[in-house]
Amino acid sequence: MKFVDEAKIEVHAGKGGNGIASFRREKFVPKGGPSGGDGGRGGSVYVRASRDINTLLDYRFKRMFRAKNGENGQSKDCYGRSGDDLYLAVPMGTIIYDDTDNSVIFDLSQDGQTEQLCKGGKGGLGNIHFKSSTNRAPRQFTDGELGDDRIIRMELSVLADVGLLGFPNAGKSTLITSVSAAKPKIADYPFTTLHPHLGVVRSGFRGSFVIADIPGLISGASEGAGLGHQFLKHLQRTKLLVHVIDIGTEYPDTKSIVQGANDICLELQKYNDALFNKPRWIALNKMDLIPEEEQRAFIAEVSTALKKGLANSEQIFPISSLSADGTPALMNGIMEYMSRLEDTNKKSH
Ligand SMILES: Nc1nc2c(ncn2[C@@H]2O[C@H](COP(=O)(O)OP(=O)(O)OP(=O)(O)O)[C@@H](O)[C@H]2O)c(=O)[nH]1
Ligand SMILES: [Mg+2]
């Protein structure tokens, strides 16, 4: 399925139905009074977050959404029917902006969270409301009010605790596949992954966290190279980034590994400071490609070199996503980190 994470649409609530003027004309009732009913309320437009939806594809081609108008009032004291409300389903993690001033209207992060975008117009009053001691046969009625309308922008930034970051082919998708039930495509060519995939990692009895696999990043992404850097927005709400570095196939020596890692961090910095300053750990992937007896010295050398550059991280984990060596240590480390964060958040509240 195509993944869409941005959309701009126009939403219109329904107009209220008009009230009417009518008079009772029944047999044996010589002077029937006013009997014109009220118009029905116009339908409102709501957005609702759902965990069953993961893209904004529905809003890509259809751009205008209208709730139903209320029906006009009728004779014999009958009120018009209210217009049906319209519910727009969006993925969790969708932020709704007002297109005119770019302000955030809603941030839909909970499953089932429902918010009103546009209120339906009130129905008009029928002439039954205008009867008085001096005017027993009123002809007045009012028209229904127009419903609200607005232009909104929807932006999805997936909800994950941990985001994977790295060059194409670094093994991000292989890693998420080995630690969760997510099934992104894996291949030995760059840009295999074209949109984010989420995986739930269960760690012992302690709980679980959500990890996001995103497309590969390359130097110059901020100027549009590769798939660009737009998809980095999906990392914005994560609490931790894991920078996956291929130490085997693509980069033959420590110097180029460090250079490559720094290039990725430079792209993060160009995207924004908040992302660059997010806690970031390193996974040295594809360790299986290094002979076992050389691994210790190699890890020490690369770790020391990485600490001197932009990619510097306190936490460096050697892993093989293919054989799953070292991945439990990384996942347990993340689980502990998440639990600590949760404890700190609880204490501060
Ligand atoms: N030897 C070895 N190969 C690996 C390992 N992890 C991934 N690979 C291989 O590296 C290639 C790229 O893996 P992917 O998981 O698709 O890489 P990616 O980072 O998701 O790449 P993009 O989606 O293009 O950004 C595949 O051929 C994998 O089989 C590993 O630990 N060891
Ligand atoms: Mg991938």
Q: Which of 174, 249, 264 to mutate to test the pocket of ligand 1 (most atoms within 8 A of CB)?
A: 174
Angle at 193 between CA 187 and CA 194, to 5 degrees: 145
> Is residue 170 within 6 Å of ligand 1 at its C-beta?
yes
> Is residue 320 within 6 Å of ligand 1 at its C-beta?
yes
Q: What are phi and psi of 89, to 5 degrees?
A: -85, 135
Q: What are phi and psi of 60, to 5 degrees?
A: -85, -40
Q: What is the pTM of this model?
A: 0.79
Question: What is the mean pLDDT of the segment spanning 43-60?
Answer: 91
Ligand number with the minimum distance to the CA of 166: 1
In 3D space, the residue among 254, 309, 253, 246 whose CA is nearest the CA of residue 283 turns out to be 246
Ligand number with the minimum distance to the CA of 325: 1
pLDDT at 29: 61
> Is residue 215 within 6 Å of ligand 1 at its C-beta?
yes
Question: What is the mean pLDDT of the segment spanning 40-47?
Answer: 97
Distance 176 CA to ligand 2 centre (A): 9
Contact call for residues 159 and 66 (beta carbons, < 8 A): no
Residue 1: pLDDT above 60?
A: no
Share of the chain above pLDDT 70, in %: 96
pLDDT at 2: 61
pLDDT at 250: 61
Q: Quick one: tokens of 135?
A: 């005017």
Distance 303 CA to ligand 2 centre (A): 24
pLDDT at 39: 95
Lowest-confidence region among 105-114, 182-191, 248-257, 311-320: 248-257
Instruction: Domains for the chain: give ranges and CATH numbers.
Output: 6-156 (2.70.210.12), 162-348 (3.40.50.300)
Residue 7: pLDDT above 70?
A: yes
The whole-angstrom separation of Cα 20 and Cα 214 is 58
